[in-house]
Amino acid sequence: MEKKRVAQYKIIEDELRESIMMGQYKQGDMIPTEAELMIGYGVSRVTVRKALDPLVAQGMLQRVAGAGTFVKNTFVKEHVPILRGFTDEITEMGMQPTSKVITFELMKVPDRLYRTLGIGKDEMVYYIQRIRYADGVPFVLETTHMSVRLYPDMSLKILNGSKYHYVEDTLGLKIAYSEHTVTPLLPSEEIVELFGLSPRQPIIKAANTTFLENGQVLDYTELTYNSPKYQLRYIKQ
């Protein structure tokens, strides 16, 4: 899948959505004003409104005349004691799981994520994008940030298989739980093309921080689901 230049309004929309999903803006909080966003991103008011309109339409934001734009409580944050790995779940469903790594590179940790990952603000992370397939059908698009210092041996070979199996079976580390923030949204052009969906087909996106038993963070991953074919499933105890 070739990388396409992302429109400025889409960058603003995605960064605001991620900030809400990660809890940086909570229910009832006012987000930056249109004027502040215009200055911060160096864009026009039309571009800012084009970025906000989908978030309002999806129920994540609410405009209040004369007051501003506020976060609505339309997503669910869960503490998940037992998270099923994609490889294991798809195998148990009688299908063949495969992965395709479309991006694997090093980058400085984004300012918004170093605390989430429990690392220094100047450390390097892996930036990973994978498409997860079941019987050749794309089910999930994963976008992951993961510490290079804590996991120096990460490789394409590992990522083409099961990351969870590598962590537990090879490194001998135990995955304890994950924190999930789940939100419904309409698919981007990239997701419409990847999953073969209608632009009006609602899908699910999850922001997932996975923790080990020793308290260390494994990774922060955003998962975009081909919701008509694959539903987010986990076991709570």
Compute the average pLDDT of residues 155-174: 89
Compute the average pLDDT of residues 90-116: 89
Whether pTM exceeds 0.85: no
Compute the average pLDDT of residues 91-116: 90
Quote the pLDDT of residue 59: 74
The average confidence (pLDDT) of the chain is 84
C-alpha 29/C-alpha 41 separation (Å) is 20
pLDDT winner (highest mean) among 10-24, 30-44, 160-174: 30-44
Name the architecture of domain 8-71. Answer: Orthogonal Bundle (1.10)
Greatest CA separation for the chain = 57
- Using DSSP's 3-state secondary structure scheme, residue 40 falls into helix
CATH code for the structural domain at 76-225: 3.40.1410.10
Quote the pLDDT of residue 1: 42
Dihedral of CA atoms 130, 99, 163, 19 in degrees, nearest 10, equals 20
Quote the pLDDT of residue 4: 54
Model confidence at 79: pLDDT above 70 = no
CB of 102 closer than 8 Å to CB of 80: no
Which CB contacts under 8 angstroms, 24+ apart, belong to 36-44? 37/12, 41/8, 41/11, 41/12, 43/8, 43/9, 43/12
Quote the pLDDT of residue 83: 57
107-158, pLDDT tens digit by residue? 999 988 998 999 999 999 999 999 999 899 999 999 999 999 999 999 999 9
Quote the pLDDT of residue 75: 52
Model confidence at 237: pLDDT above 60 = no
**Site of tokens 């026009």:** 44
Enumerate the domain spans of the chain. Answer: 8-71, 76-225
Q: Are 8-71 and 76-225 equal in CATH topology?
A: no
Compute the average pLDDT of residues 176-192: 84
Model confidence at 208: pLDDT above 90 = no
Residue with more model confidence, 234 or 73: 73
Model confidence at 49: pLDDT above 50 = yes
